[in-house]
Amino acid sequence: MPGALDKLTAGGFSVGVELPLDNDWSPAGEAARRASGRLPGEPDMARHGELARLADRLGFRALWVRDVPLYDPQFGDAAQVFETFSYLGYLAGVTGRILLGTAAVVLPLREPLLTLKSAATVNRLSNGRLLLGVASGDRPVEYPVFGRDFARRGETFREHVALLRDAGASRLPEGVRMLPRPEQPLPLLVAGLAQQAPAWAGEHMDGWLAYPGTPEDHARRSAMWRGAAGAKPYISFIHLDLLADPDAPIRRHRFGAAVGRNGLIEELRAMRAAGAAHIALHFRRSQRPVGEAMEEIAAHVLPHFHVEAVAAQAPACIAETVTHEMRVVA
């Protein structure tokens, strides 16, 4: 049975979305934030369930959530607000097939056996849809609050990865087991390098969650990753402002771009050519309503990248019909 990582990369390349599904970094979103009294960097989560279901229905391959335990005004970013594993449990219940990824759980801040139990629980409740992205963390203020050593976070990260790999056996007394037991090993994806050497990450991790960048950035990084990890997938993100004009040329901004849908198709093709196996779209800069942008991408962009995976997984007669219909939509 294909695992979550196999499903993510089916067809050779896929497109997902990163939560929160809000556009609070746009001028209109910032005005709405101020009017509502939310903190800078605190998204509006009122429609989060509706938009997660929409992403599932439209055929995006994965939903990605981040792990930000504490709001630090110096960073000014609360991510999706909710605690990561609790939120994934909710998302597992309101969606049916979309993969659920963490980008990424900060291992050194957490008790590792509880991390294992939380991840195994979400994986079981979602019928094997979890992609466990993990990190060493980059917010120094959090470590003393949780009684953790920031300087030692790289070593702690390696210890926690080892425990996740052996399902806790190295820590548990004889005869004691952690339940639920994963039916397959949980896929572990490293965000950045987590204070590790590339060779260590390539050997011990199942994929790389790379920071956003240009296709040229990704070509350099993915070449390094392939040298360390072989064919293990390289994954990244785009902070996207999808412009209403389909032919609007690309204007790059930090971590992404403002572009029309035809330019987005070309950018994703360039990302694929640069070695990316999956790109998730982040909409907080979107000047248009997030649902509207997602629907346009599903109708006009996803068929260029997901049709091969749909056709490969369907019976021949159905696959031919699906392929034809998707090309008509495109």
How does pLDDT run across 279-289, given as a tens digit for each residue?
Answer: 999 999 999 99
187, 132 Cβ separation under 8 angstroms: yes
Alpha carbons 85 and 186: distance in angstroms, whole number: 14
In sequence order, which residues have a C-beta less than 8 Å from that of residue 34 and are 6 or more positions away?
Answer: none
Return the pLDDT at 313: 41
Domain boundaries, the chain: 4-301
Mean pLDDT for the chain? Answer: 92
Q: Which of 72-76, 87-91, 210-214, 310-314 has the lowest mean pLDDT?
A: 310-314
CB atoms inside a 10 Å sphere around CB 318: 12
Instruction: Provide the pLDDT confidence category of residue 314 given band limits of 50, 70 and 90.
Output: very low
pLDDT at 63 over 80: yes
Mean pLDDT, range 189-213, rounded to an integer: 97
pTM for this prediction: 0.92
For residues 121 and 164, give the distance between their C-alpha atoms in angstroms, rounded to a whole number: 13
Asked whether residue 297 carries a pLDDT value surpassing 60, the answer given is yes
308 pLDDT band (50/70/90 cuts)?
Answer: low
> pLDDT-derived band of residue 307, with 50, 70 and 90 as boundaries?
confident
Question: Percent of the chain having pLDDT more than 70?
Answer: 93
Instruction: Give the rounded distance of the alpha carbon of 177 from its chain centre.
Output: 30
At residue 183 the predicted structure's pLDDT band, cuts being 50, 70 and 90, is: confident
pLDDT at position 116:
96
Mean pLDDT of the region 132-156: 95
- pLDDT at residue 223, rounded to an integer: 98
pLDDT in tens, 25-49: 999 999 999 999 999 999 999 999 9
* Whole-number percent of the chain with pLDDT over 90: 89
* Contact assessment for residue 284 and residue 25, using Cβ atoms and an 8 Å cutoff: yes
Q: Are 74 and 41 in contact (CB under 8 A)?
A: no
Question: Side-chain half-sphere of 61: how many Cα atoms within 13 Å?
Answer: 28
Average pLDDT of the residues in 121-131: 97
Q: Of 321 and 143, which is predicted with more confidence?
A: 143
Question: What local confidence, expressed as pLDDT, does residue 311 receive?
Answer: 43
Task: Place domain 4-301 in its CATH homologous superfamily.
Answer: Luciferase-like domain (3.20.20.30)
Bridge partners (DSSP) listed for residue 236: 279
At 310 the pLDDT is 45
